[in-house]
Amino acid sequence: MTGEISHAQAPPDKARVAQELVARLDQALLKADGLVKANLILIKKTGDSWTWDLSIFRKGEDSLSLFESKGRGLEYKILFKEDGELIFAFNALSRKIFKKNDEEKYENHLNTGFSFVDLAGTSYQANYNPIVQSDLDIAGKKMKRVALRPIVPYFYSKLILLLEPDTLRPTRLDFHDKDGVLYKTMNIKYGPVKVKAKQKVSKEDIVSRLEMLDLNTGAISVLEYTEVDRDVKPDPSLFELDNLNRL
């Protein structure tokens, strides 16, 4: 893109600022140890919608996500190992396990706008080279803008991160496909979420919704967090591949 400075050529202070801004994205996205409850909602352009109850068990670099619907019960389990470096999906209806390799990690899960990689909690700072670019004016408001290039390109050729200028809170992430075409946008919303920790319940103002717009289909996918329970200590056996196909 015209006007871009490669990460390798960027002045040290600019590179440091870019890294710090991307680190804010990793810090903002909810990757709490314990149990996170959420809803995954798919709203098609026709107005038809589907909803799954999502439970995310996490311990360190491993996490297990369970997707349940009211009509079918448990539909999918996804095991993420080593911060999403290894991804295994279990289809509870067919009773089959699939290992997602390379480009397969970028397939949309349950026809939503969220790919397996998007759901993995993979570190953006560790997997992308950031480039500081000029601020972007949106509806009269200047936003911080950072372009991210994948260190190992499989499908996303570039991401564009927008942050509020004053608080530096990440607010939007634009995804470009392997041809460099913008094809989906994720808006990051903040709000009160119930958090349990040390036997106490409180409301914390954290990321509460991720809204993904698929520009090709017009569908909107919403990942809405409802509860975080940091007191839950997942058993290590939850993250063993041999147990993934157990219902």
Q: What is the pLDDT along the chain (247 residues), one digit of tens a residue?
A: 333 333 444 455 666 788 899 999 999 998 889 999 999 999 999 999 999 999 999 999 999 999 999 988 999 999 999 989 999 999 999 999 999 999 999 999 999 999 999 999 889 999 999 987 768 888 778 899 999 999 988 899 999 999 998 999 999 999 999 999 999 999 999 999 999 999 999 999 999 999 999 999 999 999 999 999 999 999 999 999 999 998 7
Which secondary-structure segment (H or E) carries 38?
Answer: strand 34-43
The pTM score is 0.90
DSSP secondary structure string, 173-233? EEEE-TTS-EEEEEEEEEEEEEEEETTEEEEEEEEEEEEEEETTT--EEEEEEEEEETT--
Q: How far apart are CA 67 and CA 53, in angstroms?
A: 6
Q: Where are the domains of the chain?
A: 19-243
Q: CA triplet 27, 28, 34: central angle to 5 degrees?
A: 80
Q: How confident is the model at residue 12, as a pLDDT?
A: 54
Rg, C-alpha atoms of the chain: 18
- In whole angstroms, give the CA distance from residue 52 to residue 20: 34
CATH topology of domain 19-243: outer membrane lipoprotein receptor (LolB), chain A (2.50.20)
